[in-house]
Amino acid sequence: MSVTRTRLEIGSKISANLLASAAQGYPGEACGILLGRIEGDRRVVEDFRPAPNRWSEREDRYLVDPESLRRALAAEEAGGARVLGFYHSHPDAPPLPSETDRELAWPWYCYVIIRVATGKPEETRAWELDVDTGRFEERPIRYT
């Protein structure tokens, strides 16, 4: 689908807020929407919106509240910030996509996974689904 490899850019202040937000959901999985602009192969995160986790039956699953996403997409349609992707946390697990992540993944969107170890955010990595292989490819994150 995308021939060029996308890169993610996040301002350090937003990144700090994002990490704090992700850590708040511990030990459950926190999740939300990443918003910003697209410049060529760069996706610049300018804002994020935490979304309620609607997967209530299990603590090791997340489901971004569909209404939150609907509103974000509607705002985008009206000329607002682009929905670049989503973030979620992995409590006490490495920020690597799991089989579940892969099965439920959408292409094009950037999936940012934040490892939260015993309540503290420790590592962030970004991934995008490659439609040809059906696997996640890592995307570089540049902090500005």
Partner 1 sequence: MARVSIRIPTPLRPFVDGRSSVDVEAQTAREALARLTESNERLRAQLFDDDGELRNFVNVYVGTSNLRDLPDDPALEEGTELSIIPSIAGGRTSQVIEVTDGDAEAERAGLTTDELRRYSRHLLIPEVGVEGQERLKGARVLLVGAGGLGSPLALYLTAAGVGKIGIVDHDVVDFTNLQRQILHDTSSVGTSKLESARARLHAINPNVDVETFETRLDSGNALEILQGWDVVADGSDNFPTRYLVNDAAVLLGIPTVYGAIFRFEGQVSVFGAEDGPCYRCLFREPPPAELAPSCADAGVFGVLPGIVGTIQATETIKLILGQGRPLIGRILLIDALQMQFRELSIQSDPSCPVCGENPTITELSDYEEFCGVNVDRGGSADGVPEMEVTQLQRWLEEGRDFQLIDVREPYEWQICNLEPQGARLTPLGVFPTVVGELDPAIPMVVYCRSGARSANAVEKLREAGFDAINLKGGILAWAEEVDESMPTY
Q: Which residues are catalytic, by number? A: 29
What is the distance between the alpha carbons of residues 2 and 138, in angstroms, rounded to a whole number? 14
DSSP label of 105: P
* Tokens, residue 22: 């992700």
Q: Which is nearer to partner 1, 13 or 99 (CB)?
A: 99
What is the distance between the alpha carbons of residues 93 and 32, in angstroms, rounded to a whole number? 18
Site string for partner 1, 66-85 (x = CB under 8 A): xx-xx--xx--x-----x--
CA 33 to chain CA centroid, Å, is 6
7 Cβ contact list (under 8 Å, min separation 6): 41, 42, 43, 139, 140, 141, 142
- Give least dist CB 26 to partner 1, A: 13
Q: Which is nearer to partner 1, 16 or 104 (CB)?
A: 104
Q: Which is nearer to partner 1, 9 or 128 (CB)?
A: 128
Residues forming contacts to partner 1 in the complex (CB under 8 A) are 1, 29, 31, 55, 58, 60-64, 66-67, 69-70, 73-74, 77, 83, 86, 88, 90-94, 96-102, 104-109, 111, 117, 123, 127, 130, 133, 135-138
